[in-house]
């Protein structure tokens, strides 16, 4: 039976298991929206296409499934760009569908024409312009396959209006044949053997894990490797939750705002086992001071991530979960070394943990942002999905919330996109309807996609927003304080809406909190509420994220939190 | 910096070329020459790219190219025993020198005269990069008016892959 292109497209999406999608209508996608009108797919109308892209990401990051968004041509497509770039950097599987002007008008500067495929070429894993209605089923099948396999990423499909309105008999496609795309899952056996030997020979090993652990679903294997061989673990921002944050072998996050213990351990280790991580500059700092004494094993599914920034002694290309499984098996067959040196190494690390733990000065008068996060952690017991915005709020979350399980932290790592957290929370909530979803936000970032309050209210999506309101673009202000002589150029954002009233104006619940004693009661009330809630925590404005390794510097240049002030001893 | 010839098989598809050239510009790699045309299989194009960079950069180029969905296979031809050829069309001034002198120079390199006028003379010449370089150096003494190069084509010798 003949069908319209738009019908074939929506059928193909349903065939891929799509249950929910995010987007915004417009001229050239009218035929697609007309089909969606009575399709079983739940459509979430965001209030900005950027919100749709981040919501699709939030859905994908929370569930591991491919997230889908839809926008019109021209401005609709360009509004998706930030979300695509974000998904590309953090390896998030999304499929974005954009409308395009009719094929006959392409290239003629038609109304709302933009070269979506050209614009997004370097920020997608792959993209398509469909010129022939008969290609729709194949392209959709390939797009989902490419987005979700290997190192995942965003795929864009640009659909001209005349392709949506043409008619054809849909072809059945049930297999993908891509001769240029065959991700390698299993690691090379000889390399695995060598890695196992290196692990057994090492006295001071460290595991440095990244987002690949979560994407591959390899946390159980990672834990077994760490526990059975007494190997301490540090994680990148993207890796948090891939190893229990409360585990005695966990040293905390590494890098610019990492813990002293994690960064010191990297400095002194003799073996660095990098797993699903990519040696980002926010992690390594000064390259020649990063793991200077270590032999480096690097496990990653993307060969181009290996030896990109740092030379690697033992590269293993493959899926993290699969390779770790192979490695554990290999290790089982080998005789175990003397545990003494490892125990000494772990003790040394505990020493660093005690020397400079994460700390901040407590206050009874001012709300400390770290305190809010600690309380969110205590109240949720880690059983929640936390998204963040970007800046200090994000780094404090990474430091003070203990992520025990994968996919409980959803944050924009590689691109550092302000405005990500709230729409991502909406997407995450749709994927995890039973979970409590909290966006830990900054007062600057939240204003970048605040319009999505309307989305949350319309669809009764009960996400919670906790703004750590310091009335500054705090992270930038912190850099100005430390590196630009406190010249606070354009970072003070005191002029801001009354967030409580704003939330109420949208029909959500709003709270303003200025007293530290109110933090817990308000959190409790909001978490117990089934509405979207916005909490405006007015925090200490000039609190800094510490420790910090200044950009391009090494661990010995760390600026640490000052030790707690001693209370005056009362005279006897 | 060493020159490297990279040979690729890519899907003969809309957008494949811009994906590849876009990758070079986005990641700051340089392209000295690029040639592309369909292979014996019309759905597949053969591309030869000459680039330069240290070993680490060239290794990254290979990996990044491999990551593109449209790229089917990549070889760094410079790692193998190979044949490299370039075709050039070159026009030299014929004013100050006798045409015979110029034609003899061409003959020494197996170049064919393809266009003659009072003021200039054009050759077609083919060779490996060294031969082309030598020929052009010789022609410089007459004065080169116009030069069009195909870019290098490279083929790995049988039994070397
Ligand atoms: C879209 C975007 N623009 C600019 C930046 C640069 N930037 C990084 S953090 C930051 C300040 C964020 O302020 P706020 O949301 O209030 O968070 P805080 O650091 O105060 O917690 C800025 C401007 C960015 N990351 N993203
Ligand atoms: Mg702020």
Judged by DSSP in three states, A555 sits in: helix
Show which of residues 82-141 on chain A sit within 8 Å of chain B, judged by CB atoms. 117-118, 121-122, 125-127, 129, 131
Q: Report in angstroms the alpha-carbon separations of A56 from A91, A149, A408.
A: 13, 17, 16
CA A346 to chain centre: 29
Q: What is the DSSP pairing of strand B3-11 with strand A464-469?
A: unpaired
Domain assignment present for residue A338? The answer is yes
Report yes or no on A500 lying in a domain. Answer: yes
The whole-angstrom separation of Cα A23 and Cα A39 is 15
Average pLDDT of A384-398? 98
B61-80 residue pLDDT tens:
999 999 999 999 999 999 99
**Residue percentage of chain A with pLDDT more than 70:** 99
Q: Are residues A157 and A271 in the same domain?
A: no
Separation between Cα atoms, residue B145 and residue B161, nearest integer Å = 40
User: Does residue A319 lie within any of the structural domains?
Assistant: yes
Nearest to A180 by CA among B110, B94, B13, B30: B13
Whether A121 and B22 lie within 8 Å, measured CB to CB = yes
φ, ψ at A152 (rounded to 5°): -65, 170
* Same domain, yes or no: A265 and A230: yes
Lookup: tokens for B161: 């892959």
Substitution target in A148, A178, A180 with the highest count of B β-carbons within 10 Å is A180
Does ligand 1 have an atom closer than 6 angstroms to the CB of A81? no
Alpha helices in A245-361 (DSSP H): 260-268, 281-284, 320-332, 340-355
d(CA A156, CA A380): 37
In this prediction, residue A196 carries a pLDDT of: 97
Q: Are residues A237 and A376 in the same domain?
A: no
Averaged pLDDT score across all residues of chain B: 94
**Ligand 1 pocket, residue A540 CB under 6 Å:** no
Domain boundary among A355, A377, A410: A355
Phi and psi at residue A436, to the nearest 5°? -80, 125
Sign of the dihedral through C-alpha A463, A469, A473, A479:
negative
**Distance between CA A56 and CA A376 in Å, rounded?**
25
Minimal CA separation from A64 to chain B, in Å? 22
pLDDT value of position A563: 85
Cα A462 to ligand 1 centre (Å): 25
Q: A214-239 as b/e, with b when 16 or more CB fall inside 10 Å?
A: bbbebbebbbebbeebebbbbbbbbb
Contact assessment for residue A392 and residue A543, using Cβ atoms and an 8 Å cutoff: yes
Within 10 A of B119 (CB to CB), how many other CB atoms are there?
10
Angle between helices B99-108 and B129-140 (to 10 degrees): 160
Residues A218 and A146 in one domain: no
A57 and A149 part of one domain: yes
| pLDDT of A570 | 53
Query: Looking at the structure, do residues A241 and A273 belong to the same domain, yes or no?
Result: yes
Read off the pLDDT band of B60 (50, 70, 90). very high
Q: Looking at A412-539, which runs of residues are DSSP E strands?
A: 437-442, 464-469, 509-513, 533-538
Tell me the per-residue pLDDT of A496-542, one tens digit each, with 9 for 90 and over.
999 999 999 999 999 999 999 999 999 999 999 999 999 999 999 99
pLDDT of residue B95: 78
- pLDDT value of position A337: 79
Q: Compute the distance from residue A492 Cα to the ligand 1 centre, in Å.
A: 12
Residues from chain A contacting residue B14 (CB–CB below 8 Å) = 129, 131
Q: Tell me, yes or no, whether A106 lies in a domain.
A: yes
B26 touches chain A (CB under 8 A): yes
Counting Cα atoms < 13 Å in the Cβ hemisphere of A267 gives: 20
User: Token digits for A123?
Assistant: 């920020």
A394 lines ligand 1 (CB under 6 A): no
Active site residue A475: yes
Per-residue model confidence as pLDDT tens digits over A111-120: 999 999 999 9
Residue A515 in domain: yes
The C-alpha angle A311, A312, A314, rounded to 5 degrees, equals: 160
CATH number at residue A323: 3.40.50.1220
- Residue A339 shares a structural domain with residue A428: no
Q: How large is the average pLDDT for residues A325-341?
A: 91
CA pair distance A296, A283, nearest whole angstrom:
15
Total domains in the fold of chain A: 3
Given the DSSP bridges, would you call strands B120-127 and B71-76 parallel, antiparallel or unpaired? unpaired
pLDDT for residue A567: 62
Mean pLDDT of chain A: 97
By the 8 A CB rule, do A197 and A164 touch? no
- Judged by phi (left if over 0) then psi (alpha if -120 to 50, else beta), residue A428 lies in alpha
Q: What is the pLDDT of residue A568?
A: 58
| Domain shared by A110 and A70, yes or no | yes
Q: Compute the distance between CA of residue B40 and CA of residue B154 in angstroms, rounded to an integer.
A: 15
Residue A16 among the catalytic residues:
no
- Of A7, A49, A221, A452, which residue is the catalytic one? A49
Q: Domains of chain B, with CATH numbers?
A: 2-79 (3.30.70.260), 85-156 (3.30.70.1150)
Average pLDDT over residues A238-260: 98
* Sign (positive or negative) of CA dihedral A178, A181, A186, A190: positive
pLDDT in tens, A80-137: 999 999 999 999 999 999 999 999 999 999 999 999 999 999 999 999 999 999 999 9
Nearest-by-Cβ selection for A121 from B11, B19, B56: B19
**SS3 call for A242:** coil
Measure the CA–CA gap between A94 and A68, rounded to whole angstroms. 6
Residue B149 binned pLDDT confidence (cut-offs 50, 70, 90): very high
Q: Is residue A556 part of a domain?
A: no
**pLDDT band, residue A556 (cuts 50/70/90):** very high
* Listed residues A309, A327, A355: the one ending a domain: A355
CB A45 less than 6 A from any atom of ligand 1: no
What distance in Å separates the CA atoms of residue A360 and residue A400, rounded to the nearest whole number? 11
Q: Which residues contact A245 (CB under 8 A, 6 or more apart)?
A: A382, A401, A402, A403, A404
Q: Omega before A71 cis (within 30°)?
A: no
Cα–Cα distance measured from residue A31 to residue B154, given in angstroms and rounded to the nearest whole number: 49
Among B15, B68, B70, beta carbon nearest to A117: B15
B57 touching A, CB under 8 A?
no
Using the mean position of ligand 2's atoms as its centre, give its distance from the Cα of residue A473 in Å: 4
Question: For this structure, is A395 an active site residue?
Answer: no
Question: What is residue A572's predicted lDDT score, i.e. its pLDDT?
Answer: 47
Does A475 reside within a domain?
Answer: yes
Q: Which contacts of A288-294 are long-range, i.e. CB under 8 A and separated by 24 or more positions?
A: A289/A554, A289/A555, A290/A266, A290/A554, A291/A206, A291/A266, A291/A267, A292/A267, A293/A267, A293/A268, A293/A269, A294/A206, A294/A266, A294/A269, A294/A270
Instruction: Compute the nearest-CA separation of A462 from chain B (Å).
Output: 39
pLDDT attached to residue B17? 95
Do A388 and A537 fall within a single domain? yes
Q: Is residue A360 part of a domain?
A: no
Q: Is residue A437 domain-shared with residue A317, that is, in the same domain?
A: no
Q: Are residues A351 and A377 in the same domain?
A: no
| Containing structural domain, residue A516 | 369-546
Q: Which residue has the tokens 């509004």?
A: A79
Beta-bridge partners for A512? A536
What is the interface pTM, i.e. ipTM, of the complex? 0.92
Q: What is the pLDDT of residues A192-243, one digit of tens each?
A: 999 999 999 999 999 999 999 999 999 999 999 999 999 999 999 999 999 9
A539 touches A466 (CB < 8 A): no
CATH of the domain at A375: 3.40.50.970
Give the atom of ligand 1 at the shortest distance from the alpha carbon of A394: 21
> The tokens 């099948």 sit on which residue?
A141
Distance CA A315, CA A276 (A): 12
Asked if A292 reaches chain B (Cβ–Cβ under 8 Å), the answer is no
How long, in residues, is chain B? 161
Q: Are residues A46 and A163 in the same domain?
A: yes
């Amino acid at each position: 039976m003949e069908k319209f292109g738009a019908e074939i497209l929506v059928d193909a999406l349903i065939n891929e298991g799509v249950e929910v999608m995010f987007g915004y209508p417009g001229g050239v996608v009218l035929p697609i929206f007309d089909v969606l009108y009575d399709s079983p797919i739940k459509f979430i109308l965001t209030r900005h296409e950027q919100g749709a892209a981040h919501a699709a990401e939030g859905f994908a990051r929370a569930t591991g499934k491919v997230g889908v968004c839809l926008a019109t041509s021209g401005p609709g497509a360009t509004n998706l760009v930030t979300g695509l770039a974000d998904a590309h950097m953090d390896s998030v599987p999304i499929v974005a569908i954009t409308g395009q002007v009719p094929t006959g008008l392409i290239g003629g500067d038609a109304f709302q024409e933009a070269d979506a495929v050209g614009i997004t070429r370097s920020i997608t894993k792959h993209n398509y312009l469909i010129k022939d209605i008969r290609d729709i089923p194949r392209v959709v099948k390939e797009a989902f396959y490419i987005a979700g396999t290997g190192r995942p990423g965003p795929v864009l499909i640009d659909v001209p209006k005349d392709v949506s309105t043409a008619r054809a008999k849909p072809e059945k496609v049930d297999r993908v044949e891509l001769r240029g795309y065959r991700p390698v899952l299993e690691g090379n056996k000889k390399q695995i053997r060598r890695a196992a030997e290196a692990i057994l020979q090492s006295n001071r090993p460290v595991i440095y894990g990244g987002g690949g652990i979560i994407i591959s679903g390899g946390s159980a294997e990672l834990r077994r490797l760490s526990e059975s061989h007494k190997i301490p673990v540090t994680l990148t921002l993207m890796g948090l939750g891939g190893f229990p944050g409360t585990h005695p072998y966990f040293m905390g996050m590494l890098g610019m705002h990492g813990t002293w213990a994690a960064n010191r351990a990297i400095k002194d280790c003799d073996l660095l086992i990098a797993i699903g991580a990519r040696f980002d500059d926010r992690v390594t700092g000064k390259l020649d001071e990063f793991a200077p004494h270590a032999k480096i094993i690097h496990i990653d599914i993307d060969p181009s991530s290996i030896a990109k920034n740092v030379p690697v002694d033992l590269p293993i290309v493959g899926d993290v979960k699969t390779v770790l499984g192979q490695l554990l098996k290999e290790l089982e067959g080998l005789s175990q070394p003397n545990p003494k040196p490892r125990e000494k190494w772990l003790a040394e690390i505990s020493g660093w943990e005690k020397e400079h733990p994460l700390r901040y000065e407590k206050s009874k008068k001012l709300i400390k942002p770290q305190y809010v996060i600690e309380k969110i952690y205590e109240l949720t017991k880690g059983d929640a999905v936390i998204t963040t915005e970007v800046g200090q709020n994000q780094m404090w979350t990474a430091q003070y919330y203990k992520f025990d399980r994968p996919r409980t932290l959803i944050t924009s790592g590689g691109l550092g996109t302000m405005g990500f957290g709230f729409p991502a929370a909406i997407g995450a909530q749709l994927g995890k309807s039973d979970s409590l979803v909290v966006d830990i936000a900054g007062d600057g970032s939240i204003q970048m996609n605040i319009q999505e309050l309307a989305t949350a209210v319309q669809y009764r999506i009960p996400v919670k927003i906790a703004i750590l309101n310091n009335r500054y673009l705090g992270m930038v202000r912190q850099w100005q304080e430390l590196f630009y002589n406190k010249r606070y150029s354009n970072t003070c954002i005191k002029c801001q809406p009354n967030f409580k009233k704003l939330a109420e104006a949208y029909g959500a619940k709003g709270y303003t909190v200025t007293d530290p004693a109110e933090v817990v009661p308000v959190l409790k009330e909001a978490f117990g509420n089934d509405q979207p809630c916005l909490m405006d925590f007015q925090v200490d404005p000039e609190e800094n994220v510490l420790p910090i390794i200044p950009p391009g510097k090494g661990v010995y240049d760390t600026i640490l939190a000052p030790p707690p002030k001693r209370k005056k001893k009362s005279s006897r | 910096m060493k020159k490297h010839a990279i040979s690729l098989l890519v899907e003969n598809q809309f957008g494949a070329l811009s994906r590849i050239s876009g990758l070079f510009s986005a990641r700051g790699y340089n392209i000295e020459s690029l040639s592309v045309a369909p292979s014996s299989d019309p759905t597949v194009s053969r591309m030869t790219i000459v680039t330069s960079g240290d070993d680490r950069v060239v290794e990254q180029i290979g990996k990044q190219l491999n990551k593109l969905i449209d790229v089917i296979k990549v070889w760094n031809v410079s790692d193998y025993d190979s044949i490299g050829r370039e075709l050039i069309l070159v026009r030299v001034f014929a004013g100050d020198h006798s045409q015979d002198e110029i034609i003899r120079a061409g003959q020494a390199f197996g170049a064919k005269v393809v266009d003659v006028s009072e003021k200039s003379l054009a050759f077609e010449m083919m060779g490996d990069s060294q031969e082309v370089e030598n020929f052009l150096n010789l022609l410089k003494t007459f004065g080169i008016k116009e030069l069009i190069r195909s870019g290098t084509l490279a083929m790995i010798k049988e039994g070397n892959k």
